[in-house]
Structure 1
Amino acid sequence: MAFETAISGLNAATTQLDIASNNIANVNTNGFKQSRAEFSDIFTGSNLGVSSLAVSRGVRTAAINQQFDQGNIKSTNNNFDLAISGGGFFMLDDDGGRVYSRAGAFGVDRSGFVTNSAGQKLMAFSVDAAGQAAGTPTPLQIDTSDVAPQASSRVDVGVNLRATAPIITLPFDPTVAGSYTNSSSITFYDSLGKSHDGVLYFVKTAANVYETHLLMDGAELTPSAGATITFGTDGKIATPATGQVAYDAAPVPGATDMSLTLNYSGGTPTTQYGDTYSVNALDQDGYTTGRLASINIDDTGRVFARYTNGQSRLQGQLALVNFSNVQGLRQAGNNGWIETFSSGIPLVGVGGSARLGTVQAGALEDSNVNLTEELVKLIMAQRNFQANAQVIQTEDRVTQTLMNMR
């Protein structure tokens, strides 16, 4: 029996060596989770019914479990390098199958899909108009096409006009400095994305009354109604009641006629305070053609495409997954796992919700292998192997002694 017991010990020590060597081999594998062997004794019953004489018959490997504790997160210079801080896995499409991984080294293939080195596609939710994740996760595909231009139509003007400014009596003439009180430059864009130079002039014609003039490419635009702003004694706009001045459509060569509305009562309203003229806001809604400049991913996994014209487009939101029993997952290679009956069904959500961690872009999760600990395990496994081999040698000598008896 000692032979069988020692052999089981040798097998256990070999298993421990295999696991430790695999952990050590993957010490630099991103998202790798170390394994741990769990052993139990083999008990075959009592000797002649006397429990105190019961002897175990060796050891067996009861389970090999992976440890899903967090690895260190290190920064990189690639926005498509992703790490999960906390629980959860990335959901990947593997030719129609589902694979789950903590390794977040991704890139973009020639079709715009975000994939890892094994060609597995990163899954994401589509987003609705409010920017909320919706629907079923699908492979994330980055739209690399240019953003079409948008013609300017509305400008939010937030300036402070001087309450102490002198009244202007000269007829307005943009070439004569003394014929207006203040001015500000604005850039407009037509339907083709071409820029046009605009200048907004303010002329104080009476106490608390300012006349406005808008020029585009040197030509004055015609207001649809009055373009005079009246302030109350509190320094706020009294008229027009809406705070808006609209202009007739202006012809633009080769492009759609441009219709502009200036809003003086936006988020930063125009006022008349003190004796300092200041421009606090000049925001217009037009822009020229934009080319993809960068991809940014926030901590909830929302993927934004940034363009050269200052615009951004929400491309989707990463789908993260967790399981009731992560120990029940089965390894699939390429730093991935697949679900099993033991793991339970995938619990899908977005970063920062429920039991899911947050997403860190430009970072990767290191292996959680403790190299020093694994080297100690190697020594222990070696000693266990030597000790069990010694048991076999001892049993062999005892057997030889019995065989040599005359």
Structure 2
Amino acid sequence: MIDALYIAASGLRSEQKQIDVISNNVANMQTPGFKRSRVNFADVAGTALPAAVANDAPARAAEPMPGGTRISSTISEFDTGELKPSGNPLDLAIDGAGLFELELDNGTVAYTRDGQFRLDGEGTLRTMQGARLANAPQIPLEATDVRVSSAGEISVLMPGDTERSVLGAVELAVFGAADALQSVGDNRYTATLAAGTPTYAVPGEAGSGKLQQGYVEMANVQMIEEMSSLVMAQRAYQLNARVLQAADQVLETINNLRR
């Protein structure tokens, strides 16, 4: 009965985490660049005592038995969300694999799929939270008609010029196992050993997606799928709660018999 308590408790903890993750997915359905998360579970192996054997029989090792469940990982799924036109030429959406690399104020780097950029006072492309788009060229503030090709090439039309000037290009970071990236909030991710070392590619090459200027990638959350998962998680939570309650009642009965 004690084992039943621990198994039920582990199930309650795991399903509570599942419900929290699903709720976060639903809450961010309208967040540009948001990637839904999924919880992976693993069995906890307990050890059963070996059955009684005759004195002359060889000893048998203890056999593994179910010991509940635990959360092995929480991953983000990076399939492309719906691309919606924004009308802002500095908004960039990735149609396919890859992430934008950002330089943070503390000197570290992070990665994101949220391509809503703005120019600061020096012509630097920055996110809405102020992080700088790494390896991106500066855009003169007096430049007009900023264009970004599907391959990431940035060109502008300067005052008095009749031909466009190419300033540089935006590269994408591609990971071998993007789902192993560590989420750090604000639609940002950091590299991990499991994700591998990023490779940098021209958009549309080396397995990376192409850029869509003037578009915003929406969250890849599907309401029907999330609600179905939420219902199953709630039912699993209720079943584990019933197991916990039943084990408590049995233990109470046993305790009363000893009186």
In 2, the alpha carbon distance for the partners of 1:348 and 1:323 equals 9
Determine which of 91, 104, 111 is the counterpart of 2:101: 91
Q: Aligned with 2:47: secondary structure?
A: coil
What does the per-residue CA deviation read over 1:83-133, in whole Å, with 9 as the maximum and x for residues that have no partner? 01111111211123221111101111112111111111112xxxxxxxxxx
Question: Which consecutive aligned stretches of 4+ in structure 1 deviate over 4 angstroms post-superposition?
Answer: 49-54
Query: What residue identity is the alignment partner of 1:295?
Result: V
Query: What residue identity is the alignment partner of 1:97?
Result: T
1:402 matched to 2:259? The reply is no
In 2, the alpha carbon distance for the partners of 1:382 and 1:399 equals 26
User: Aligned residue for 1:300?
Assistant: 151
Alignment of 1:248-397 (within 5 A): 292-307=143-158, 309=160, 310-397=162-249
User: Aligned residue for 1:141?
Assistant: 138
In 2, the alpha carbon distance for the partners of 1:366 and 1:99 equals 19
Alignment of 1:2-13 (within 5 A): 2-13=4-15
Tell me how far 1:394 sits from its aligned partner. Answer: 0.9
1:82 matched to 2:66? The reply is no
Higher percent of residues as helix? 2
Tell me how far 1:352 sits from its aligned partner. Answer: 1.4
Tell me how far 1:54 sits from its aligned partner. Answer: 5.0
What does the per-residue CA deviation read over 1:218-273, in whole Å, with 9 as the maximum and x for residues that have no partner? xxxxxxxxxxxxxxxxxxxxxxxxxxxxxxxxxxxxxxxxxxxxxxxxxxxxxxxx
Counterpart contact for 1:122–1:140, Cα < 8 Å: no
Tell me how far 1:48 sits from its aligned partner. Answer: 0.9
Query: What TM-score results when the alignment is normalised by the length of structure 1?
Result: 0.58
Q: Aligned with 2:216: secondary structure?
A: strand
Q: Aligned with 1:316: secondary structure?
A: strand
- Count residues with an aligned counterpart: 246
In 2, the alpha carbon distance for the partners of 1:106 and 1:41 equals 44
In 1, the alpha carbon distance for the partners of 2:169 and 2:64 equals 60
Determine which of 11, 14, 17 is the counterpart of 1:15: 17
Query: What residue identity is the alignment partner of 1:75?
Result: P
Q: Aligned with 1:70: secondary structure?
A: coil
1:60 matched to 2:62? The reply is no
Counterpart contact for 2:28–2:219, Cα < 8 Å: yes
Alignment of 1:238-257 (within 5 A): none
Query: What residue identity is the alignment partner of 1:71?
Result: G
In 1, the alpha carbon distance for the partners of 2:205 and 2:64 equals 53
In 2, the alpha carbon distance for the partners of 1:48 and 1:86 equals 54
Tell me how far 1:45 sits from its aligned partner. Answer: 2.3
- Cα distance change of structure 1 residues 387 and 104 upon mapping to structure 2, 3 Å threshold: same
In 1, the alpha carbon distance for the partners of 2:63 and 2:124 equals 66
Structure of higher CA gyration radius: 1
In 1, the alpha carbon distance for the partners of 2:228 and 2:96 equals 28
Q: CA RMSD in A?
A: 1.8
What does the per-residue CA deviation read over 1:336-393, in whole Å, with 9 as the maximum and x for residues that have no partner? 1111222222201211111111111000111111111111222212111111111111
1:37 matched to 2:39? The reply is yes
Higher percent of residues as strand? 1
In 2, the alpha carbon distance for the partners of 1:403 and 1:320 equals 64
Identity of aligned residues (%): 34
In 2, the alpha carbon distance for the partners of 1:92 and 1:40 equals 34
Counterpart contact for 2:122–2:141, Cα < 8 Å: no
What does the per-residue CA deviation read over 1:267-321, in whole Å, with 9 as the maximum and x for residues that have no partner? xxxxxxxxxxxxxxxxxxxxxxxxx322111100111112454331111100211
Q: Aligned with 1:57: secondary structure?
A: strand
**Range with bigger deviation, 308-317 or 88-97:** 308-317
Counterpart contact for 1:92–1:101, Cα < 8 Å: yes
Gaps of 5+ in 1: 124-136, 146-291
1:48 matched to 2:50? The reply is yes
In 2, the alpha carbon distance for the partners of 1:345 and 1:393 equals 48
